[in-house]
Each structure stands twice: as structure tokens, then as C-alpha cells.
Structure 1
Amino acid sequence: MFAAPYPYLLLLLPAAVLARDDFRTRRVGISWLAALGAAAVVAAWSTQGARAAAEHMLCNGVLLLVSGAALACYLRLRRLPAHRSIGAGDIIFITALTPLFAPAAFLRFLLAACIVALIWWAGCGRRSRTVPFVGAAGIALAGWVALRFIRLWI
């Protein structure tokens, strides 16, 4: 099913607010996370169909569980506390985006978000103990939405 990417615009407001809050205060609001999740479901359902959105949610959920287990093992081996390495907002933000992407595209999106976070850390975050991953992922999401619209006009 092909549809114009206009429903993806619904993602921009909650992602922008969450990114701003994460960069400023290192906290994100649950109401904005819920709004992002609802916008992601509506956008995926209206552009890809209900079946594809559900399949993406299932596959990407499994992918997150496997990568989360690998991260937990890594942190345990390094004797690092997991609660200081990733926040609940980060997990909810990434989980909310699962219906939008096919599994390969989801991995590319996560990689792009990690690269944005690494660039932020290298540029201005070294003096901070934490990385605003929701903010970085919000920037990556805005870039992805922009690319969807560039494809519309080319």
C-alpha cells in the first residue's frame, strides 16, 4: 500500500518537544511519549496498513528484546549499572516507533540515532555524564520524516 507521507507530520510535534526536554532537563514527559506512540500508530496504519504496522511492531519488539538482552549482558560483564546506562524514556521512545519501520529500516534508524548521539557527545557532551538519547533519536526521526517528504517531491 502506497500513501502520501503526510501522516508522518504527526510525529514531529511530540518528537520535537521530547527532544527539547531531553536536551534541557534530561527528563521526558509520559504524556508526550504517549502522544508520540499514538502518532506513530496512526501514521503507520494510514500509510502502510494495519497488518504491516502490526508485523513491524512484533518484529521490531523482538529485535528490541534481543538487543536489550545483549546490552544487559554487556553491562553485566563490564560491571556497570543498567539503570545509569539507559533510561525508561529512551526505552519507551524507541518502542513507540516500532510500527513505523520494517526491521532492516528500524536497525538503520537506531544506528542513525546512535550516530547523532555520538556526534552530540563528541561535540558538546563530554562534560555531561549522560547522553540525551531521546533527543538524538528525535533529531534522527525528524530527518527520516524530511527524507520521506523529499521522496514525495522528487
Structure 2
Amino acid sequence: MYEDMDPTDLALLRAAQDGIPIVPHPFRELGERLGLDEGTVISRLRALRESGVVRRFAATIGHRALGIVANAMIVWRVEGDIERIGGIMASFEEVTHCYQRATCEEWPYNLYTVVHSRSREECEKIASRISEATGVKEYRVLFSEREYKKTSARI
């Protein structure tokens, strides 16, 4: 799968996926592990980002430590302009994921949003606000009961 990728870029991505160190020169430190100078690391990561291999650099926040303990997937039955409605749903700051999915006879929901909040009640209120904003009245709020695994994509 990764055979066509430059071996140095692949090694750089593998090293970076475990996190960038919080130090004054994180790319220098990352480069030292790989035998690269800081400028080379930065230019290669920039090129990977510009080519679309790397979509973004982001910090991961421990949401549970901040009191964000309620997670809900809200499934919506959208009829009509799903692109427009999906855009409205995705614009809510509480929505972290918004996906269109195929339906089946037993499960008519075709748009999925994920929200995180401090309580189940807040998640329900967010769902109600989204419903009001979009006019979509048929939805279900599904709460996480237990987390078994949470990781980012790995190469």
C-alpha cells in the first residue's frame, strides 16, 4: 500500500503520528530521530500537506478531563436537499463529525452527526437546535455507553 511512497517521507509520517514533542524546536527533535535537519523535516511535511497526504496538524484534547463526558451520535432521516442540510448540521460547533450514509428498509437514517457535551441533556438540546435549524424532525439520539478503543489512523 505504501510501496510507492518515498521511504524518508514514510519514516517521517510514522515518527510524527505518535505526536510532535512539546519543545522549542519540535521539528528539529523529530528530525534528529531520523537523521534529518529541521529545515528538511519542515519542507517535507509542508510538501506532504500541500499534496494532500497530510490533511492537517492538530492538538488532541482530553475531552473527558475537561468535563465533556456525554457523546452522542444523532441519526437523521433527511429527505430533500441533503447537501444543504448536511452543511447546516456541520456548521454547529458542537458537531465534530457529519456523514451521509446509505439507508435500508429497517434503518431509514441517512445523515449522521456526532456531538460531545457535558451531559446527555445538553446533547438532546443540541439535537433539538439542529432539528429546528434544518426542519428535520425525524431523528434519534444514540449515546455512547462504553469506549473500547479510540485511536487515530495509523500507517
TM-score (norm 1): 0.22
Larger radius of gyration: 2
Counting helix residues as a fraction of each chain, which structure ranks higher? 1
Greater RCO structure (CA 8 Å; 6+ sep): 1
Counting strand residues as a fraction of each chain, which structure ranks higher? 2
TM-score (norm 2): 0.22
